[in-house]
A and B are shown apart, each in its own frame.
Chain A
């Protein structure tokens, strides 16, 4: 793996964002809007706390963490789509760039996006609702890291599908992640799901992170078990999805799709 090729792609995307207000707005607009809407829902529910269970205070933390996962996935998929829209895929794949370097660059891009969004969301939550995400404590960092990796897994999977099926699969860049939201148990505990769905949710690393977050906030207990599950599942799925990406690149080269997808 060569650092200069990875930084080439990073610089390419940073050039893009430096000059494009809509792209910068896209990073911040939805998280901010989410935060405003859900923030007020939280306030409303908190005001009627006697009728509503106490876990409504988890909403803001859950929302911020969910958005980190979402931006992480978007960082990967949108970086690929930018190349596709620019008809630049041929230039990249006919260069010495390796698929691993391409993925590393998009993952680095996704970390930058998540960092920017996290600062804005955490700052806004503090300013508007006096909500401090740091109450999660030292567990926050491992939670975030695991959510970012889950975002990568969904992002690489989605990118592979777009590469394989072309621009008509573009909509997956925005919709795929929401398929995982119900089984990520973002705003409710896993136990509210039907038993059969709980089994599926247990295989989702994000569900363990959100369960862990609730464990910390409600009981102040250690979420080590949840974290261990999330790390193991993320490890397994990341290896699987990267292998799937390599397989897709090979399939696309065999069927001439890599050239056609960028046309």
Chain B
């Protein structure tokens, strides 16, 4: 029997004036599943994630998480969801530890000090825990936003290029951690990356977006075979070039 999805997006559409950023996108994420969201720049990945986080209101369609409608149960849903992106930051004048303490308060986490300590250890952040955020390298900053995302023990995690600025060793450690968390807590993850090998390694299923529409869906192997390509990178290049030509 199929598990009930933790996330269900139905006919999700977002228009900005005449421009259609996301066009009737429907997908599900099952408990403990890692769903890869792929597509060239401008395909609608970020807008989709922003709608799932309640930052952008869809023009049409619906989003349900844990069986609840995001438009009417925002608070309950977002309490169980978190995200990390290379494109966000955190207050620069606060130390790493202070930033995490603020997040812990924001989500009403009890035993804050212990939880912050645990996550700092887990992500190997002890050497820079007292550094102000403005002094962090981009790799350290990425780890901080990941720590912020893990700290609240979410049931769904949205990760927008989580390993983009990390060195291969730390990136490998993060991937391992994500797999462990998924194994241990049944964490579901929506994952975007421009690293195709990483997508193949991490994702149970992949959705390809092109000009706001889903153009392919399945496991990495299924997608590669369907388009008769050697690997996921070739499939990506095919869609990226088509999109560029169309625009």
Chain B residues in 8 Å Cβ range of A98:
75
| B93 and A93 contacting across the interface, CB-CB below 8 Å | no
A5 at interface (Cβ–Cβ under 8 A)? yes
| Interface residue B91 (Cβ < 8 Å from any Cβ of A) | yes
- Please, how many angstroms separate the alpha-carbon atoms of A2 and B50 in the complex? 24
Q: How far is the CA of A87 from the CA of B91 in the complex (A)?
A: 7
**Are B106 and A86 interface neighbours, CB within 8 A?**
no
Contact of B107 among A87, A95, A259 (CB under 8 A): A95
B138 contacts A by Cβ under 8 Å:
no
B89 at the interface (CB under 8 A from A): yes
How long is the Cα–Cα vector from A16 to B148 in the complex, in angstroms?
18
A residues within 8 A CB of B87? 263
Chain A nearest CB, measured from B72 CB (Å): 14
Instruction: Let me know if B56 and A253 touch, CB within 8 A.
Output: yes
The complex places the Cα of A111 from the Cα of B91 at a distance, in Å, of 22
Contact in complex: B108, A5 (CB < 8 Å): yes
Q: Contacts A91-B88, A256-B56 given; indicate if A16 touches B93 (C-beta within 8 A).
A: yes
B102 touches A8 (CB 8 A): yes
B57 within 8 A of A: yes
Q: Contact mask A78-100 → B, CB, 8 Å, 1/0?
A: 00001100111011111111100
Q: Provide the bound-state CA to CA distance between A253 and B78, in Å.
A: 16
Size of the chain A interface, CB-CB below 8 angstroms: 34
Asked if residues A96 and B16 are in contact (CB atoms below 8 Å), the reply is: no
At the interface, yes or no: A15 with Cβ under 8 Å from chain B?
A: yes
Contact among B78, B88, B92 for A96, CB-based, below 8 A: B78
Question: Is A11's beta carbon under 8 Å from chain B?
Answer: yes
Can you name the residue of chain A whose Cβ is closest to the Cβ of B54?
A94
Q: Which residues of A contact B78 (CB under 8 A)?
A: 94-96
Q: For the complex, is A250 an interface residue (Cβ under 8 Å from B)? A: yes
Interface residues of A in 33-47 (CB under 8 A from B): none
Q: How far is the CA of A205 from the CA of B78 in the complex (A)?
A: 39
Considering the complex, which residues of chain A in the window 48-96 have a beta carbon less than 8 Å from any beta carbon of chain B?
A: 82-83, 86-88, 90-96
- By beta carbon, the residue of chain A nearest B81 is A94
Separation of A11 and B97 alpha carbons in the complex (Å): 13
What string of 1s and 0s marks CB contacts (under 8 Å) between A227-263 and chain B? 0000000000000000000000010011110110001
Q: Which residues of B contact A (CB under 8 A)?
A: 14, 16, 47, 50, 53-57, 74-76, 78-79, 81, 83, 85, 87-95, 98, 101-108, 132, 148
Give 6 A-B contacts (CB < 8 Å), ordered by A residue.
Answer: A4-B108, A5-B106, A86-B91, A93-B54, A253-B54, A259-B55
Residues of A within 8 A of B (CB): 2, 4-5, 7-9, 11-12, 15-16, 19-20, 82-83, 86-88, 90-98, 250, 253-256, 258-259, 263
